[in-house]
Amino acid sequence: MTGARGSDVVITGMGMVTPVGTSAAEVMAAMCEGRSGLRRPPAGSALDGSAEVAGFGPPIDPGSVLAGPEARVVDRYIVMALRAAADALADAGIEVGRDVDPYRIGVILSGTGGLATLEAQVVTRTQRGRLGVSPYLLPGMLPNMGAARVAIRHGIRGYSSSIGTACAAGAQSVGEGLRLLRADEADVVVCGCSEAPLFATLADTFSNARALARGWAAEPAAASRPFDRRRNGLVLGEGAGVLVLERTAHADARDAAGYAAVMGWGATNDAHHPTTPHPEGEGAAACMRRALADARLEPADIGYVNAHGTSTKIGDRAETLAIRRVFGAGSPPVSATKAVTGHMLGASGVVECAVSVLALRRGLLPPTHNLDDPDPACDLDHIRKSPRPAAGIGQVMSNSFGFGGHNISLVFGRPGTRHSRPL
């Protein structure tokens, strides 16, 4: 290791809404035990006939996070964002105005937005005319409204933004939060992403592009199988993930415990194709190298990689080549946790950051489930079948890649706070 500055920024809170649970304990248990959140869409659901398998998050009463008539008209992505953010701030023990100046806390909460709500309103207008369109449409579905609603609910008056880099958006939100804290433009940043893609039109476009897993209706838990020879597409999932990032000095001043240090990040673009990654993994490899350089680490310092691993033929092979480019023949242990959650689009990146951090804290690396017959073209040090003990690792990496060629890698290490979260 060449000397890191990773103790400057720490994670002090996390909140998740996923197909396998809403608490860190539930999510990690599912990852380690192979408890899948994938199932067949129920008859009559919005996905019936459009997707064989999907990852459904738990029901959330909109009235539990929003009051008044707006609770009835906001998109599910906003509801999940509000729940995950509230849980993350509570986990961090932060009340805005008491623990942090309202102008010194920011929120970067991304997502595709409420496309299902927009589509429903288009149908309503077709059926009932222009007066049938809800006046709450825009505040109920715009992509920035996750961040805006979180800011309004918690009185966050500092920097506020959302990022539109598809499946890389959640991870990029964390990286931009790190940048904001390093620039001393905030003491705390709420970073995350929420996605609600489980509706017919979005599933249909993935299906017609032959990107969805197929032939798994009889065994839905086996449909998402990153790096496996039998993989034939991704499984759509819904969810949200939020991390509370904080300057270490600020966390120590309020006697807060840290989960992990956010040591560095990298961002690149393949500049290759709107939907497929560079086949040689060139941009992804450059992204990982940038993250290592930013963290002032060498490849040998990384003890685990949480792969983007979507279960698509070209994507998994391209990421394998990228990891080989960076780490050589002796790559660190790798796993892809979308096998149990499905692909929650941009939200996957934040949840996978949380999983990477929890694996580091516990010294237990989750496996890639359904990896029964590894693709010879994806010959990495895969963690298979059961978790792998790794008590001695010091740093981990999480990868997220998105349509448009967006690549994000983040590196986490042990927290520099006086107090650490218990295992």
The yes-or-no verdict on residue 4 having pLDDT over 80 is: no
In the predicted structure, residue 5 carries a pLDDT above the cut 90? no
Enter the DSSP assignment of 325. Answer: H
Per residue in 162-175, pLDDT (tens digit) is 999 999 999 999 99
Residue 395 contacts residue 413 (beta carbons within 8 Å): yes
Name the token pair of 341. Answer: 């959650």
Query: Going along 123-274, which residue ranges are E strands?
Result: 160-161, 188-195, 239-247, 257-258, 260-269
All structural domains of the chain with their residue ranges: 6-416
How confident is the model at residue 7, as a pLDDT?
A: 60
The pLDDT tens digits for 394-409 are: 999 999 999 999 999 9
From the DSSP assignment, how many helices (H) and strands (E) are in the chain? 12, 16
Question: For the stretch 404-414, what's the b/e string if a residue is b when 16 or more beta carbons lie within 10 angstroms of its beta carbon?
Answer: bbbbbbbbbbb
Greater confidence (307 vs 392) lies with 307
Q: Which residues of 199-224 are buried (b: 16+ CB within 10 A; e: fewer)?
A: bbebbeebbeeebbbeebeeebbbbb
Which of 42, 45, 28, 53 is closest to 222 using CA atoms?
53
Residue 70 has a pLDDT of 84
Residue 50 in this model has a pLDDT that exceeds 90: yes
pLDDT band for position 315 (cuts 50, 70, 90)? very high
Measure the N-to-C terminal CA separation of the chain; round to a whole number of Å: 25
Residue 209 in this model has a pLDDT that exceeds 50? yes
Structure confidence by residue, pLDDT tens digits, 115-162: 999 999 999 999 999 999 999 999 999 999 999 999 999 999 999 999
CA angle 192-225-360, nearest 5°?
Answer: 50
- Residue 272: how many other CB atoms lie within 10 Å: 16
pLDDT in tens, 180-196: 999 999 999 999 999 99
Alpha-carbon distances of 373 from 38, 234, 281, 343, 379, rounded to whole Å: 20, 17, 22, 21, 11
Q: What percent of the chain has pLDDT over 90?
A: 93
Element (H, E) at 141: helix 137-141
| 252 SS3 class | helix
Spatial separation of the C-alpha atoms in residues 92 and 147, rounded to whole Å: 18
CA distances 73 to 58, 70, 147, 247, Å, are 19, 5, 17, 37
**In this predicted model, what pLDDT tens digit does every residue of 233-287 receive, in sequence order?**
999 999 999 999 999 999 999 999 999 999 999 999 999 999 999 999 999 999 9
Closest CA to 293 of 320, 274, 319, 266: 266
Burial pattern 72-105, b for ≥16 Cβ within 10 A else e, equals ebbbbbbbbbbbbbbbbbebbbbebeebbeeebb
Say which residue the tokens 């959140």 belong to.
37
Residue 369 pLDDT exceeds 80: yes
Indicate the pLDDT class of residue 3, thresholds 50, 70 and 90: very low
Whole-number average pLDDT of the chain: 95
| Interval 77-97: pLDDT, tens | 999 999 999 999 999 999 999
At residue 6 the predicted structure's pLDDT band, cuts being 50, 70 and 90, is very low
Q: What angle do CA 346, 348, 351 make, to 5 degrees?
A: 125
Question: Does domain 6-416 correspond to CATH entry 3.40.47.10?
Answer: yes
Give the residue, 45 or 155, on which the prediction is more confident.
Answer: 155
Instruction: Sort residue 96 into left (φ over 0), alpha (ψ -120 to 50) or beta.
Output: beta
In this prediction, residue 68 carries a pLDDT of 84
Catalytic residues: 167, 308, 343
Structure tokens at 263: 């040591």
